[in-house]
Amino acid sequence: MAETAACAPAPVRVALIDANAAARAVVQGLLQAEGADVLALSSGEEALQALAGSWRADVVLVSRHLPDMGALELLRRLRLLPGCAMLPVVLITGDDDEPLRLSALEGGFTEVLVRAAPEQLAPHLRALLRRQADLQRARILLVEDSPAVAAATAEVLAPLGMEVEHALQAHEALERLQHQPYDLLIVDVVLPGALTGLGLLSALRSRRDDLAELPVLAYSSYDERVRRVEMLRRGANDYLTKPIDADELRARVTNLVRYWRLLQQVRRQHAQLAHQAVTDALTGVYNRHLLDEMGPRLVRRAGRGGEPLTVMMLDLDHFKDVNDRHGHERGDQVLQALAQRLRDHVRADDLLVRHGGEEFALLMPRLGADAAWAQAERLRQAVAQQPLAGLALTASLGVCVWQPEAPQPACAAEQAAEGLRHLLRQADQCLYQAKRQGRNRCEMVVVTAWP
């Protein structure tokens, strides 16, 4: 049976220490505007007394100049208080001086903020609170066969505001990991059952998805070099020995969760950049970069399977008149509406690309001649029967269907790319023929030989 220690979302609690009442009020107002719970203090001693008591801070902001002690002295004494060893402490200073900033970071401050106008300081405070809130929302899976030890570990981690779930055995943890998102796995090396802590770690690292990189903190009662090395060799990110020091556990957990969150952020940014690299900025459909990458693969796949591959070129008729009469902004709206219209009428496996200007290319796997002609007509009618951005327009289509007579031998990527270019040229020639024949029509050619 699994146990869960759930933490309800709560505002970030900030201890703000600044002797300047006016400056303190400005920062306090900015923090509260972001939903933070702020305890405003005017001296170091006042702050130490408050933080040694029942009020728990998630982050401390301290001015460089205090009436009773220096900021570094406050930081040193703060670190000695129970539960404050890993508390983020941010220095606020009016000196935008690089040596001072480096000296403060070297002295142990988590971050340095330069005091500035409210509109300049607000984004930095917002980012600080967001990072802290992200940590509080972290989910940890603790794999421990002793309910008492698990409860004690969850209690140690409670000040971090993270959600801690408990699994008694490794196989139960593996099942949970495959169906629920976590930010950290804490696992005891010695576990009962067929799957031990070592086995769980090996199973996790052998996966071929993002879960294989989930950070793992391993711990054990055995303080042996060989055991530590084996856990690290199997892929543990960090290792602790029982009995566990509370501050050390919180420090290692915080570091690993921050690593995972940063990795997730980098992945999202990479995916966004990758998407932007192959997407047309105006219409949102794919661009020619993806056509050059995916098109040859579709050609090779069709050849290997002896399956048809249809290539279409669609071009709006008299699109130049739209720009001349209504302006380029209206022309852009027309292209956006056309792209959406086409998306609504193509299959999930079809590749839709803005080929240039008002011309779109479509690659349609496993679409034979009869079905290709019917689909081309549907697309032509979809454009003609309903206005695009309020304008009645038509489109012409050129269609080339490659229908191999038999499965083709494997070919090199360069050959497939040349084959794709040939099919596109054939479809383009059909498109020009449709234009010459009066527009708002489809023309098609079927080829059976290797293109």
Residues of the chain with CATH 3.30.70.270: 288-447
pTM beyond 0.75, yes or no: no
Residue range 131-140: average pLDDT?
81
Judge contact between 235 and 229, C-beta under 8 A.
no
For the chain, residues classed under CATH 3.40.50.2300 are: 11-134, 139-268
Classified by CATH at the fold level, domain 288-447 comes out as Alpha-Beta Plaits (3.30.70)
Give the Cα separation of 317 and 355 in Å (integer).
Answer: 15
Q: Which residues, 6+ apart, have CB-to-CB distance to 60 below 8 Å? A: 14, 15, 17, 47, 51, 78, 87, 88, 89, 90
**192: confidence class by pLDDT, cuts 50, 70, 90:** confident
Model confidence at 1, pLDDT cuts 50, 70, 90, reads very low
Residue 287 pLDDT > 50, yes or no?
Answer: yes
Per-residue pLDDT at 9? 54
Q: Which of 175, 189, 192 is nearest to 238 (CA)?
A: 189
The answer to whether 207 and 177 have CB atoms below 8 angstroms apart is: no
**pLDDT mean across residues, the chain:** 90
Considering the domain 139-268 in this protein, what is its CATH number?
A: 3.40.50.2300
Name the residue type at position 164: V
User: What is the model's pLDDT at position 166?
Assistant: 94
User: Could you tell me which of 214, 151, 203 has the C-alpha nearest to residue 181?
Assistant: 214
Q: Tell me, what's the pLDDT at 4? A: 43
**Does the pLDDT value for residue 413 go beyond 60?**
yes
- Report the C-alpha gap between 360 and 356 in whole angstroms: 7
**Sign of the torsion formed by the C-alpha atoms of 30, 36, 37 and 43:** negative
Place of tokens 């408050």: 50
pLDDT value at 6 more than 60: no
- How confident is the model over 338-369, as pLDDT tens digits? 999 999 999 999 999 999 999 999 999 999 99
- Name the CATH superfamily housing domain 11-134: Response regulator (3.40.50.2300)
pLDDT at 446: 96
Query: For 182-197, what is the mean pLDDT?
Result: 91
Decide the pairing of beta strands 89-93 and 59-63. Answer: parallel
